[in-house]
Amino acid sequence: MGLQMPYFFKKERIMIKKIVLCMLIIGTTIPTYAQAQPQPPPDKTESEWKSRYGVRFGYSYLNKGEQVESLSSPHSFLLGYEMQQTLDGGEWLDILFVENISVGGLDQSVFSPSLSLLVGFEFADRLQVAVGTNISPVDPADDDKYIHLISAIGYTAAVGRFSLPIHLTFIPDVNGFWRCAATAGVNW
């Protein structure tokens, strides 16, 4: 004599088979249905990130620089590296993020580094305005003020595969040791 399953378990077993069969049918038809649907064209309104980076060189002026012992002149050479990211806003306006590290005073045998982090706008992929923070471990006033505001305006011209950025920056100082700079460079 064999064991027989009660009627209740037979009914459950049939129900489980039906559920598994339905899941297999649904599982095979959904990919087929998804492939048969035409794909809409990519959305042109989606924002895209663009990156540019490159070397910078130029001129820097330190107001009251003649009062600083380590400098022989308030005018100095500036050398740096910059990274820019833009978030495409559509027709003519993008959001701009800039990170710049520069070294000034090399022409006077002085090492004066600074780091700038800016946020701003880029108009028509050419004109840029930004403000942010400038950090420098050198304080000409010896007043332990190493963090300053920085404001910048620039223009970037397309030159084949590269672009030529020209920027003007201004860094105010509470002790009158404000700085301004004009830089040019190349982005790739």
Q: What is the DSSP string of 31-63?
A: HHHHHHSPPPPPPTTS--EEEEEEEEEEEEEET
Burial of 82 (0-12, 13-18, 19+ CB in 10 A): buried
Q: Which fold has domain 49-187?
A: Porin (2.40.160)
Q: Could you tell me the residue ranges of all domains in the chain?
A: 49-187
Q: What is the pLDDT of residue 16?
A: 73
Alpha-carbon distance values, 112 to 122, 139, 140, 168, 173 (Å): 29, 10, 10, 19, 16
| SS3 state at 176 | coil
Coil vs helix vs strand at 26: helix
pLDDT at 90: 83
Structure tokens at 144: 């332990």
Residues 6+ apart with CB under 8 A from 78: 56, 57, 58, 59, 60, 102, 103, 104, 181, 183
Residue 20 token pair: 């598994």
pLDDT at 176: 96
- Write down the pLDDT at residue 8: 52
- Any idea what DSSP says for residue 4? -
Do the beta carbons of residue 76 and residue 120 sit within 8 Å?
no
Alpha-carbon distance values, 177 to 1, 71, 182 (Å) = 105, 13, 17
Give the separation between CA 132 and CA 111, rounded to whole angstroms.
Answer: 23
Q: HSE on the CB side for 39, CA within 13 Å?
A: 4
Per-residue pLDDT tens, the chain, 188 aa: give them: 555 555 555 666 666 777 776 666 666 655 554 555 566 555 555 668 999 999 999 999 999 999 999 999 999 999 999 999 999 998 899 999 999 999 999 999 999 999 999 999 999 999 999 999 999 999 999 999 999 999 999 999 999 999 999 999 999 999 999 999 999 999 99
pLDDT at 43: 58
Q: Write out the two tokens for 21.
A: 């069969």
